[in-house]
């Protein structure tokens, strides 16, 4: 019995020691601050640092951003050098389709250009970059969330703007409002205002737009020809709202019944955001009410969306298990393959995105019936194969839409954490990180990204480059002045995608941005979008009717106290409406 007592006593002592050690560690760990970096605060730190330093007279003052890029870069370089810092390490975490690598390499290029400036001015400081790439933007967001408290996150986070609200409210990303103001006239005035607005949370800038896109509906020209359907004026009819989702259904049905295509419609897998949210806007609904600041669950529009997809799935025009299809094995091959002689069959319509245009040119999705091997498409083959148009209006009287999900450069609140004297120098590291984003937003870098990834530029100067013949030819011949590392990394993609056809494509789809909608940047939106994905999966599988799915969503919203406070449920299921 005595030994039992001793064992228990020993166990208690060990537990107390461990808890004590953990508590000590937690109390010692400095809590990160979420203050806005202001010029005033940096100035005041300057004086205290200066007085403490034995080399006060020789040491440069702590830099304050002025809006003059070169001057700011030199000031920061000199200041870091005076503090004995010769290497600054930054890591970028980015995500996207395989061609969107400039989301990482844009910052590599920025680091290279800043290093050049320092070198030219005899400053012995160098930025060293490292990267982490994740193809799923949601997964990267999840990883970032759990990494920030541990301090293992990237310094730069390149992801969808929809996460700004939550990341900013949690204090995970830096408020760069004062920095953006300094660079407004020299840089950000040139950005499209709608995109700059998407970079705000509660009126403050927390990010800088990196790219945007439209989500065209791709129509297979060969399938249309097989049906005897003249689509030469289709984009115009869609634009005028004269070709709606009811017509989409009829045409999809016709394509399948005539044996011209295996499927009438194919769309993304996994999540409902962002592609499928277009249905809500196309049926005249909304997702957010700026007056109340609340998310909106628009019952009539959501019901119509569910009913549309339900009809497609029930008539075998859209796969019931669409949400679990594999991108590389099923979705892309079905979209790009020939209708006859290919293992997957084909589809008449595809709810895609502008980036797919170049992705199909770099990834081997196409099954070549002659060689029986998979290979990428050529730009010429794509022109022959695909027609593109806006996402049609839901009902007659509604408007066509598209949806953009601008990607943003964000700076982690603890950016620069892997560098020496972080606590003393963090303002300087933050300023440097911001300047890197300014450089990565150079029109040339932005335009290269647009061409090779099929995204739309975020600023007018980049859009102008896409109309500049000389610049286009320089890009095609890789005569653009880039760092050797970036050049090497993007060369294979440039070779496949930098063509006049692709630049023409970007010009052709740019009108779609006039019809664009943005999903709400609200902390609770990702949760709501997750419920939409579950609901639409049940609708497609037929385990719920559209009405049941709408009620399921309402129950889910009401069951979650946080979500029910954030979401306004409006309208009711329409009684005199049918689809198709």
Partner 1 sequence: MKIRKTSLLFFLGPALFVVALFYIIPLFLSVYISFTPMVDWNVNRYLTQFIGLQNYERLFHIVMYDPDMRAVVITTVVFVLVTLVINVFGGLLLALATYFMDEKMSAAYQGLWLLPRMTPIAVYSLLWYYFFHSSGIGILNSILLKLHLIDHPIALGLDPKYLPWGAWFIIIFVNGLVGVSYGMIIFYSAFKSIPKELIIAARVDGASTTRIIRHILLPLTKWHFTFVMVWQMFSLLMTYAQTFLLVEWRVVDSTWGQTWALYVFRTAFTTTKDQGLAAAASTFLSIIGIVLGIIALKALGYEKMILEPKGDI
Residues that bind partner 1 (CB under 8 A): 2-3, 6-7, 10-11, 14-15, 18-19, 22, 26, 31-32, 142, 145-146, 148-149, 166, 170-172, 269-270, 319-321, 323-326, 329-330, 527, 530, 534, 537-538, 541-543, 552, 555-556, 558-562
Please report how close the Cβ of residue 9 comes to partner 1 at its closest, in angstroms. Answer: 9
Q: How far is the CB of 287 from partner 1 (least distance, A)?
A: 18
User: Which DSSP string do the residues of 265-290 spell out, in sequence order?
Assistant: EE---S--TTGGGHHHHHTT--SEET
Separation of alpha carbons 42 and 327, rounded Å: 48
Tokens 């009539």 correspond to what residue?
300
Which residue, 31 or 58, has its beta carbon nearer to partner 1? 31
Least spacing, CB of residue 552 vs partner 1, in Å = 5
Q: How far is the CB of 14 from partner 1 (least distance, A)?
A: 5
Q: Decide whether 271 or 441 has the Cβ nearer to partner 1.
A: 271
Residue 558: CB minimum distance to partner 1, A: 6
CB of 560 to partner 1, least distance (A): 7
Decide whether 340 or 558 has the Cβ nearer to partner 1. Answer: 558
d(C-alpha 179, C-alpha 457), whole Å: 22
What span, in angstroms and rounded, lies between the C-alpha atoms of 577 and 360? Answer: 38
Of 108 and 367, CB closest to partner 1: 367
Which residue, 64 or 536, is less far from partner 1 as judged by CB?
536
CB of 269 to partner 1, least distance (A): 7
- Report how far residue 393's alpha carbon sits from residue 234's, in angstroms, rounded to the nearest whole number: 13
Sheet of 567-570: strand order equals 288-289, 294-298, 567-570
Cα separation, 430 vs 278, whole angstroms:
37
Please state the length of the chain.
Answer: 580
Alpha carbon 143 to chain centroid, angstroms = 15
Cβ proximity to partner 1: between 487 and 538 the closer is: 538
Nearer to partner 1, 270 or 420 (CB): 270
Alpha carbons 443 and 538: distance in angstroms, whole number: 44
- Please, which residue, 19 or 507, has the CB nearer to partner 1? 19
CA distance 412 to 408: 12
Q: What are the residues whose beta carbons fall under 8 Å from the beta carbon of 34, sequence distance 6 or more?
A: 171, 175, 413
CB of 122 to partner 1, least distance (A): 41
Q: How far apart are CA 154 and CA 544, in angstroms?
A: 41
Within 390-537, strands assigned E span 402-404, 407-411, 516-518
């Amino acid at each position: 019995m005595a030994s039992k007592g001793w064992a228990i006593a020993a166990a208690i002592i060990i537990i107390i020691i461990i808890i004590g050690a953990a508590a000590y560690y937690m109390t010692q760990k400095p809590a990160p601050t979420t203050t806005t970096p202001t010029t005033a605060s940096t100035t005041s730190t300057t004086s205290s640092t200066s007085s403490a330093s034995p080399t006060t007279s020789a040491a440069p003052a702590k830099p304050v951003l002025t809006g003059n890029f070169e001057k700011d870069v030199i000031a920061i370089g000199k200041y870091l050098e005076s503090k004995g810092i010769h290497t600054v390490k930054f890591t970028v975490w980015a995500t996207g389709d395989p061609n969107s690598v400039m989301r990482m390499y844009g910052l590599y290029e920025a680091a290279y250009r800043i290093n050049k400036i320092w070198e030219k001015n005899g400053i012995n400081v160098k930025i060293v970059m490292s990267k982490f790439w994740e193809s799923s933007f949601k997964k990267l967001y999840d990883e970032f969330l759990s990494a920030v408290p541990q301090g293992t996150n990237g310094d730069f986070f390149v992801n969808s703007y929809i996460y700004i609200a939550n990341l900013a409210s949690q204090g995970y990303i830096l408020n760069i409002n004062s920095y953006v103001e300094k660079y407004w006239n020299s840089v950000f005035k040139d950005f499209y205002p709608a995109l700059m607005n998407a970079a705000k949370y509660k009126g403050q800038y927390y990010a800088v737009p990196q790219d945007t896109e439209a989500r065209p509906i791709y129509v297979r020209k060969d399938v249309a020809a097989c049906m005897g359907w003249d689509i030469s004026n289709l984009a115009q009819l869609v634009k005028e709202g004269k070709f709606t989702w009811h017509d989409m259904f009829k045409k999809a049905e016709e394509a399948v019944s005539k044996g011209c295509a295996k499927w009438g419609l194919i769309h993304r897998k996994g999540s409902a955001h962002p592609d499928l949210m277009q249905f809500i806007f196309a049926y005249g609904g909304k997702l957010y009410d700026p007056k109340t600041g609340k998310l909106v669950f628009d019952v009539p529009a959501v019901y119509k969306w569910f009913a549309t997809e339900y009809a497609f799935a029930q008539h075998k025009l859209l796969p019931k298990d669409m949400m679990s299809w594999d991108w590389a094995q099923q979705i892309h091959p079905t979209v790009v393959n020939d209708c006859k002689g290919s293992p997957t069959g084909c589809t008449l319509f595809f709810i895609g995105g502008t980036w797919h245009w170049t992705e199909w040119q770099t990834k081997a999705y196409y099954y070549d019936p002659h060689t029986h091997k998979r290979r990428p498409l050529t730009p010429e083959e794509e022109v022959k194969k695909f027609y593109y148009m806006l996402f049609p209006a839901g009902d007659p009287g509604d408007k066509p839409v598209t949806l953009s999900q601008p990607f943003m450069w964000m700076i982690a609140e603890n950016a620069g954490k892997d560098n020496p004297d972080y606590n003393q120098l963090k303002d300087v590291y933050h300023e440097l990180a911001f300047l890197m984003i300014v450089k990565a937003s150079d029109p040339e870098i932005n335009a290269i990204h647009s061409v090779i990834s099929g995204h739309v530029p975020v600023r007018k100067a980049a859009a102008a480059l896409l109309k500049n013949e000389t610049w286009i030819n320089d890009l095609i011949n890789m005569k653009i002045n880039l760092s050797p590392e970036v050049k090497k990394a993007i060369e294979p993609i440039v070779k496949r995608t930098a063509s006049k056809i692709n630049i023409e494509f970007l010009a052709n789809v740019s009108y779609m941005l006039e019809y664009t909608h943005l999903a709400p940047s609200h902390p609770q939106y990702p949760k709501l979008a997750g419920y939409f994905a579950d609901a639409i999966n049940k609708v497609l599988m037929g385990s719920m009717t559209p009405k049941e799915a709408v009620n399921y969503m309402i129950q889910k919203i009401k069951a979650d106290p946080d979500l029910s406070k954030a979401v306004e449920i409006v309208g009711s299921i329409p009684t005199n409406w049918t689809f198709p």
